[in-house]
Each structure stands twice: as C-alpha cells, then as structure tokens.
C-alpha cells in the first residue's frame, strides 16, 4: 500500500481522532459524496486533536484518497491557517458556506474545484479506498499561498514549516451493481 507521506520529512506525531468513525474503520454514509453521486451528503466528520508541540502556531488539514485510479490520488479537502488555539472541528465544518470553520482558516479547491469537503466516492468494484485525514502542526501562524492554489501546492509550500503530523484513516467502498438476470 502506498504511503502519501513517504517522501516528506519525518516529524513527531500527535493524535487525531473522530467520534464519527474509528481509525481504519468505514466512514459514515453521510460522509460519502452527494455532489459525485455516491449517495452521501458531503459532510465532513467531527475531528479532535491533542498532543501537538507547544510551539505550534497553526494547522493545515488535508484529506487524500491515495487509492483513486488517477496516478496521483484525489484531494477531497484542504484547509490552511487553522489557528493553534483550535483543537477540534465540528461535523460539517467542510460545508461550502464555511460557517463552521474557525476565523482565518482558508479552504482550498478540491479536485472538483469546490472550496469544501467532498465526501468519499470510490469507483464501483474498486475495493476499499483509504481517506487519509492529515493534520499538520506548523511553526508559522499563516501560510500565504496564491488564491485558488491546489492541495499539492499547499503541501509544497508548507513543507519547511511542519513540526508534527497526525493522521486518521477511514475507508469507503462502492460495491458493483448486481448483474441482472
């Protein structure tokens, strides 16, 4: 299984958890995509974190499906400039209106070019896909990157500021339609 962080600098880890799914468990149906016709609601799960370094000045959150059949994975969510005083995001913080996001946080466009959380939408019959929620603790209060930047650009721009990283992986699959008789 490929690890999307294998070329990133090794940094200390901290804890990222959700009451909505267990690590390595299945994401809730409502966290599947509605916009991509996967029968869900595109609601981001509740996230809580702790144990990050005391010098943390901000956080970056990304969600990647490295198993998407694209050669480069599929970015479902990317948020930067989450203040260090924030230690959780409520369910549906990734909504398009951004009403539940902390002040100052910026959501970048996902692969569908929407500035919101896109729920899981693995292709039918493709097996389990991993949805890797990565929270990076940074030693800078703010990243200034061009408006409309991609999550990949965000990863490049933040690489020298990451002091710790937490991950939480959820699974989702779409079973093929049964063959008609």
Contact predicate 166/135, CB 8 Å: yes
Using CB atoms within 10 A of its CB, is residue 136 exposed (0-12), middle (13-18) or buried (19+)? Answer: buried
Domain that holds residue 44: 19-172
Q: Is residue 10 part of a domain?
A: no
Q: Is residue 181 part of a domain?
A: no
Concatenating the DSSP letter of every residue in 22-53 gives -TTSBPPGGGB-TTTTSSS--PPPPEEEE---
Number of domains in the chain: 1
Q: Is residue 108 part of a domain?
A: yes
Q: Is residue 5 part of a domain?
A: no
Q: Is residue 70 part of a domain?
A: yes
Q: Bigger pLDDT: 109 or 180? A: 109
Whole-number average pLDDT of the chain? 94
Q: Is residue 104 part of a domain?
A: yes
Q: Is residue 6 part of a domain?
A: no
- The residue to which tokens 């692969």 are assigned: 111
What pLDDT does residue 142 have? Answer: 97
Q: Which region holds residue 42: left if phi is over 0, alpha if psi is between -120 and 50, else beta?
A: left
Which pTM does this prediction carry?
Answer: 0.94
Q: What is the CATH number of the domain that holds 79?
A: 3.90.280.10
Q: Is residue 179 part of a domain?
A: no
**Residue 103 Cα distances to 54, 73, 82, 84, angstroms:** 21, 29, 8, 12
Helices (H) and strands (E) in the chain, counts: 1, 8
Q: What are the tens digits of pLDDT across the range 19-45?
A: 999 999 999 999 999 998 888 999 999
């Amino acid at each position: 299984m490929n690890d999307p962080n294998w070329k990133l600098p090794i940094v200390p880890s901290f804890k990222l958890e959700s009451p909505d799914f267990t690590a390595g468990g299945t994401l809730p149906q409502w966290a599947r995509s509605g916009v991509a016709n996967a029968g869900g609601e595109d609601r981001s799960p509740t996230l809580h974190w702790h144990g990050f370094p005391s010098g943390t000045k901000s956080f970056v959150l990304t969600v990647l499906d490295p198993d998407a059949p694209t050669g480069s994975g599929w970015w479902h969510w990317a948020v930067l400039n989450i203040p260090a005083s924030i230690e959780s995001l409520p369910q549906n913080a990734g909504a398009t209106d951004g009403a539940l996001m902390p002040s100052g946080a910026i959501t970048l466009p996902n692969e569908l070019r929407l500035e919101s959380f896109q729920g899981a939408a693995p292709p039918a019959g493709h097996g389990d896909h991993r949805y890797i929620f990565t929270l990076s603790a940074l030693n800078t209060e703010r990243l200034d990157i061009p408006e409309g930047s991609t999550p990949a650009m965000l990863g490049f721009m933040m690489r020298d500021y990451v002091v710790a990283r937490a991950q939480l992986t959820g699974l989702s699959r779409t079973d093929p339609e049964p063959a008609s008789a």
